[in-house]
């Protein structure tokens, strides 16, 4: 069944929302003010746009031929100005839900062709593997050719990656390939791969070497390392663990780090919580003693190895600790005058509660989820901190995902 509707606004997931007698109707790839004819499903809660009857002045031509099928980008049809203000608005709305009125800065933009890390999915298609991204709101995989968000080195390697997927894929389960562009070439981490026979192991290694990949791992086991797959945090070389966390765009990481370092410039001892492989730790250690806390052993090992090779750094200590199961206590935080935390999407509620009761003077809160950031900032503000600034940062271009850096000082 189809229906003509008027789009009132965009939702937090990037879908257009039309108000109907049955409640909100979500229609992807539309913009506020547009009149569309939509094919309805899910009890008339969702719709697929069949025809744009009246287009918005903010509608733009999508740059990718896969737009509308590939689920990686929801907002290529929006003008740059509309898109930037929409993402800024996501942060403003999230904070407002927690009673926080903040002067949110303009969105720090993300350029096309700069994503250094992508996660591809492969499914078996006869004797070969079909490699691509998931279709919007579906488990189906869309094969991709050009990809305007990924770095050219990743796009150029897609045929070789598809051949690799054919070697590694299990007969029953989809295969995940996490592909990272490093200075030495591509670092490939396969997960949910098949148990490799001696012959398939040989084929995978031979293909990776012929394709000039820097490193190949499968289900956590390194199969081949031709060169060191290094990235640089503030000029310091780091070899992340296979598939380990890494900010997807180097320029976005730099924008986050610039704000964190400026805010904590006067701190003498800093705690870096959810530290990963040291994106903030290594930069901060150029001017302060830093204690890095992280739950993943591989990430801490990478940080430690990088710190040992670097020169001119203040002392760095590290601790393996699950901050969700064992948040830091007020006593643990006593030595530090500055803290940065960059948690997963679940946020840092326990950490925020401890910080609110601590004597820490300055906090830099980095977040990939504005909703949990708002909750954590509310705890800190109620504990006596003043919110000095909030900056949204674009990292996942043309998607609804937005990063943010919030800077706080303890009130006097």
> Under 8 Å CB-to-CB from 387, ≥6 apart: which residues?
100, 102, 377, 380, 381, 406, 407, 408
Question: For residue range 282-339, what is the model confidence (pLDDT) as tens digits?
Answer: 999 999 999 999 999 999 999 999 999 999 999 999 999 999 999 999 999 999 999 9
Q: Which of 295, 306, 302 is nearest to 286 (CA)?
A: 306
Is pLDDT above 90 for 33?
Answer: yes
The sign of the dihedral angle between the CA atoms of 386, 391, 396, 401 is positive
Is pLDDT above 90 for 94?
Answer: yes
- When pLDDT is averaged across residues 89-114 and rounded to a whole number, the result is 97
DSSP 333: H
Burial of 101 (C-beta count, 10 Å sphere; 0-12/13-18/19+): exposed
Which tokens in the block code for residue 404?
Answer: 């943010």
CA distance 332 to 313: 23
What is the pLDDT, as a whole number, of residue 5?
Answer: 94
2-59 and 117-231 agree in CATH topology: yes
Burial of 383 (C-beta count, 10 Å sphere; 0-12/13-18/19+): middle
Go through the chain and tell me how many residues it has. Answer: 412
- When pLDDT is averaged across residues 58-78 and rounded to a whole number, the result is 92
pLDDT band at 231 (very low <50, low <70, confident <90, very high): very high
pLDDT band at 214 (very low <50, low <70, confident <90, very high): very high
The sign of the dihedral angle between the CA atoms of 9, 372, 340, 352 is positive
| 322 assigned to a ligand binding site | no
Where along the chain do its domains lie?
2-59, 86-110+249-410, 117-231
Enclosing H/E stretch for 80: helix 80-96
- So what's the architecture of 117-231 in CATH? Beta Barrel (2.40)
Percent of the chain's residues with pLDDT above 90: 88
> Under 8 Å CB-to-CB from 9, ≥6 apart: which residues?
16, 17, 32
- CA distances for 343 relative to 71, 266, 304, angstroms: 25, 23, 20
| 342 assigned to a ligand binding site | yes
Q: What is the DSSP string of 120-142?
A: EEEEEETTEEEEEEEBTTSSPEE
Question: For residue range 124-139, what is the model confidence (pLDDT) as tens digits?
Answer: 988 889 999 988 777 8
Is pLDDT above 80 for 366?
Answer: yes
Is pLDDT above 90 for 140?
Answer: no
- When pLDDT is averaged across residues 253-282 and rounded to a whole number, the result is 98
Question: For residue range 371-404, what is the model confidence (pLDDT) as tens digits?
Answer: 999 999 999 999 999 999 999 999 999 999 999 9
Is pLDDT above 90 for 163?
Answer: yes
Q: Which of 365, 186, 366, 340 is nearest to 271 (CA)?
A: 340
Percent of the chain's residues with pLDDT above 70: 100
What is the pLDDT, as a whole number, of residue 407?
Answer: 98
Domain 2-59 has CATH 3.40.50.150: no
**Quick check: 209 and 160 in contact, CB under 8 A?**
no
- pTM score, two decimals? 0.94
CA distance 374 to 355: 15
Which tokens in the block code for residue 89?
Answer: 């608005």
Q: Which of 120, 81, 106, 90 is nearest to 14 (CA)?
A: 90
| 181 assigned to a ligand binding site | no
The CATH T-level fold of domain 86-110+249-410 is: Rossmann fold (3.40.50)
215 backbone dihedrals φ, ψ, rounded to 5°: -150, 145
What is the pLDDT, as a whole number, of residue 210?
Answer: 98
| 403 assigned to a ligand binding site | no
Question: For residue range 169-182, what is the model confidence (pLDDT) as tens digits?
Answer: 998 889 999 999 99
**Quick check: 290 and 308 in contact, CB under 8 A?**
no
The average confidence (pLDDT) of the chain is: 95
> Under 8 Å CB-to-CB from 156, ≥6 apart: which residues?
none
What is the pLDDT, as a whole number, of residue 127?
Answer: 86
- When pLDDT is averaged across residues 349-355 and rounded to a whole number, the result is 97
Q: Which residues are catalytic?
A: 368
Is pLDDT above 70 for 412?
Answer: no
What is the pLDDT, as a whole number, of residue 286?
Answer: 97
Is pLDDT above 90 for 111?
Answer: yes
């Amino acid at each position: 069944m189809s229906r003509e509707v008027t789009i009132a606004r965009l939702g937090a997931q990037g879908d257009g929302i039309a108000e109907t007698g049955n409640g909100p109707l979500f229609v992807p790839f539309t913009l506020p003010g547009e009149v569309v004819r939509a094919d309805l499903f899910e009890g008339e809660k969702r719709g697929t746009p069949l025809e744009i009857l009246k287009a918005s002045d903010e509608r733009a031509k999508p740059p990718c031929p896969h737009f509308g099928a590939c689920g990686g980008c929801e907002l290529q049809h929006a003008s740059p100005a509309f898109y930037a203000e929409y993402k800024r608005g996501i942060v403003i709305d999230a904070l407002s839900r927690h009673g926080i009125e903040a002067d949110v800065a303009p969105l720090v933009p993300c350029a096309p062709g700069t994503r250094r890390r992508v996660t591809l999915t492969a499914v078996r298609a006869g004797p070969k593997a079909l490699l691509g991204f998931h279709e919007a709101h579906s488990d189906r995989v869309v094969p991709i050719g050009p990809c305007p968000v990924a770095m050219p080195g990743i796009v150029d390697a897609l045929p070789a990656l598809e051949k690799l997927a054919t070697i590694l894929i299990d007969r029953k389960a989809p295969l995940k390939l996490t592909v990272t562009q490093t200075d030495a070439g591509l670092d490939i981490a396969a997960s949910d791969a098949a148990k490799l026979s001696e012959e398939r192991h040989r084929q995978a290694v031979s293909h990776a070497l012929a394709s000039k990949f820097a490193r190949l791992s499968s289900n956590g086991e390194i199969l081949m390392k031709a060169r060191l797959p290094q990235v640089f945090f503030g000029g310091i070389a780091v070899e992340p663990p296979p598939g380990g966390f890494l900010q997807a765009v180097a320029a976005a990481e730099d924008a986050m780090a610039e704000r964190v370092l400026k805010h904590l410039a006067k701190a003498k001892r800093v705690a870096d919580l959810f530290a990963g492989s040291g994106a903030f730790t290594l930069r901060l250690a150029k001017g302060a003693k830093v204690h890095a806390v992280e739950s993943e052993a591989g990430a801490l090992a990478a940080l430690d190895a990088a710190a040992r090779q670097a020169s001119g750094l203040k002392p760095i200590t590290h601790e393996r600790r699950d901050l969700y199961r064992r948040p830091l206590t007020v006593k643990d935080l006593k030595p530090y005058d500055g803290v940065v935390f960059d948690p997963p999407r679940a946020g840092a509620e326990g950490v925020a509660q401890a910080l609110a009761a601590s004597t820490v003077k300055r906090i830099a809160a980095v977040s990939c989820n504005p909703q949990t950031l708002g909750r954590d900032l509310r705890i800190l503000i109620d504990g006596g901190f003043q919110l000095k600034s909030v900056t949204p940062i674009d990292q996942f271009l043309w998607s609804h995902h937005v990063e943010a850096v919030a800077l706080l000082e303890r009130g006097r």
